[in-house]
Every structure is written in C-alpha cells, then in structure tokens.
C-alpha cells in the first residue's frame, strides 16, 4: 500500500495507472467515514496494457460513499469495496457502466431510479464467493467493468451521469422511470387487446 494515498478518505482524486503497485488506488480508512470521488483517466498511459481495468480498493468499517467519474472515453475499471462494519455503502457508478457486480449474500441492496433507467440493463449481478475474488492487476480484453461489494449493511447503487458530469437528478430520473412504467403497461394492454381481437376460427378444421 502506498502511503501517498493509502489513508485518503475524502475529496476528489484522479486515478493513475501504477504498474509497480498492486492497486491503481487504495485507501484503508479504518473506522472513519469515506466520501470519495474517483476520476478515471480519459487516456491510456504509455505502459498501460490494452484493456487494463483501473483497479481501486476501498476499506472502512464506517460509512462508505464513493463516486466513479468517467468522461467520454470509456476507461474500464475494477472496484472492490470492503465494508467491515454495518454502516451503509452508497456507490455512484457511471451511466455507461457495462459489466458485472458481485455482492455478498448478506448485502441489502437498493437501486436508485437513475441506476434502474440507465445501468441495470447492462449489468449482470452475482453472489460474491471466495473463489470469485479477483486478483488486482488482471485485466479483461473485452473492456468490461467489474465491482465487488463485501458489506453487511445497506448498499445503495446510484448513477453518475457521464454526459452531464454530475450525479443523477433524483426528480428527473424518478419521472423518467414512472413514464417508462406507464408506457410499458400501455403496450402490454395493447398487445392483450390485439390478441383478443384475433379470430382464431380459421385454425379449426371444417
């Protein structure tokens, strides 16, 4: 663990490729609350392997709040959250997230409207087991994102808007989610009416 950033627990920090380190960013806040915005680079370092996931590790027994900020160039990342207490974990993931999220079986997870609208269709959830823990430094050629969350407290997943460069608008995303539900229910009712209107008598033998 590098002492330069091993104990950071607040503020905004740019993530840099660190070929000599186990992680590109790591912090162990002990029992202090964490409130970090981690900014992914919009370019690939000269010695960085193609498809390398920027690796980040956050540990605390206190409350954890972390935002992963990504610009227009999509830098894949691997984030490991280790919450050793029962304090809540709030994680803002970029709206263009595409990949896997591993959760411990004891996690109590809730999804924001923004996460549901933009990220959920591109996520595969799985239970976290000891055999699934990833070794930092590995990288996937497919450029997918990965998140591991080891927590016993409440876990809230929210969206960070890569277009506007800010956290999701709660009111706007809630309205968008509501409109999608209304449109979906209307489509279902329309399909049901169409099926009822079909004359199936032509299938009967004379």
Overall average pLDDT of the 131-148 stretch: 70
pLDDT score recorded for residue 106? 77
Is 72 found in the same domain as 147?
yes
Q: Is residue 31 part of a domain?
A: yes
Higher pLDDT pick, 19 / 197: 19
Say yes or no: 105 and 180 in one domain: no
| Residues 42 and 61 occupy one common structural domain | yes
Q: Which of 43, 184, 173 is nearest to 119 (CA)?
A: 173
Higher pLDDT, 181 or 158: 158
- Contact predicate 160/93, CB 8 Å: yes
Indicate if the pLDDT at residue 5 is higher than 70.
no
- For residues 96 and 68, membership in a common domain is answered with yes
pLDDT, position 8: 80
Asked if the structure places residue 5 within a domain, the reply is no
Do 101 and 179 have their domain in common? Answer: no
Highest mean pLDDT among 1-5, 48-52, 143-147, 191-195: 143-147
What integer pLDDT is reported at residue 4 of this predicted model? Answer: 43
| Mean pLDDT value across residues 98-110 | 89
**Domain-located, residue 3:** no
The pLDDT of residue 44 is: 81
Give the span between the Cα atoms of 12 and 25, in whole angstroms: 12
Please indicate whether residue 10 or residue 47 has the higher confidence score (pLDDT): 10
Average pLDDT in the 58-63 region?
95
Judge whether 50 and 58 are in contact, CB under 8 Å.
Answer: no
User: 70 and 31, same structural domain?
Assistant: yes
Q: Is residue 60 part of a domain?
A: yes
Q: Is residue 204 part of a domain?
A: no
What local confidence, expressed as pLDDT, does residue 205 receive?
Answer: 55
67 and 83 fall within a common domain: yes
Same domain, 136 and 183: no
| In-domain check, residue 78 | yes
Claim to verify: residue 180 and residue 124 sit in the same structural domain: no
Confidence of residue 140 (pLDDT cuts 50, 70, 90): low
Give the whole-number percent of the chain exceeding pLDDT 70.
78
Confidence band for 77, pLDDT divided at 50, 70 and 90: very high
- Contacts of 189 by beta carbon, 8 Å cutoff, 6+ apart: none
Local confidence band at 105 (pLDDT 50, 70, 90 cut-offs): confident
Are both 51 and 129 inside the same structural domain? yes
Domain total for the chain? 2
Q: Which residue range forms the structural domain that includes residue 86?
A: 10-167
Residue 182 included in any domain = yes
130/174 same-domain check: no
Looking at the fold, whether 43 and 128 belong to one and the same domain comes out as yes
- Is residue 36 included in any domain, yes or no? yes
Mean pLDDT score of the chain:
83
- Give the DSSP H or E segment for 170: helix 170-197
Contact 23, 57 (CB under 8 A): yes
């Amino acid at each position: 663990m590098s002492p330069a950033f091993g104990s950071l627990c607040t503020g905004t920090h740019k993530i840099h490729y660190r070929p000599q380190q186990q992680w590109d960013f790591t912090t162990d806040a002990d029992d202090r609350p964490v409130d970090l915005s981690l900014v992914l680079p919009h370019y690939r370092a000269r010695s960085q392997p193609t498809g390398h996931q920027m690796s980040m590790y956050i540990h605390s027994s206190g409350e954890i709040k972390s935002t992963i900020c990504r610009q227009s160039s999509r830098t894949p990342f691997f984030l490991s959250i280790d919450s050793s207490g029962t304090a809540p974990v709030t994680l803002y993931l970029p709206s263009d997230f595409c990949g896997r999220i591993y959760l411990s079986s004891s996690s109590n997870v809730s999804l924001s409207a923004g996460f549901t609208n933009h990220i959920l269709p591109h996520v595969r959830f799985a239970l976290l087991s000891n055999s699934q823990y990833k070794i930092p430094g590995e990288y996937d050629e497919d450029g997918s994102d990965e998140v591991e969350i080891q927590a016993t407290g409440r876990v809230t997943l929210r969206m960070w808007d890569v277009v506007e460069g800010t956290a999701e608008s709660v009111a706007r995303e809630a309205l968008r989610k509501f409109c999608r539900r209304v449109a979906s229910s209307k489509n279902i009712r329309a399909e049901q009416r169409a099926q009822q209107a079909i004359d199936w008598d032509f299938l009967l033998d004379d």
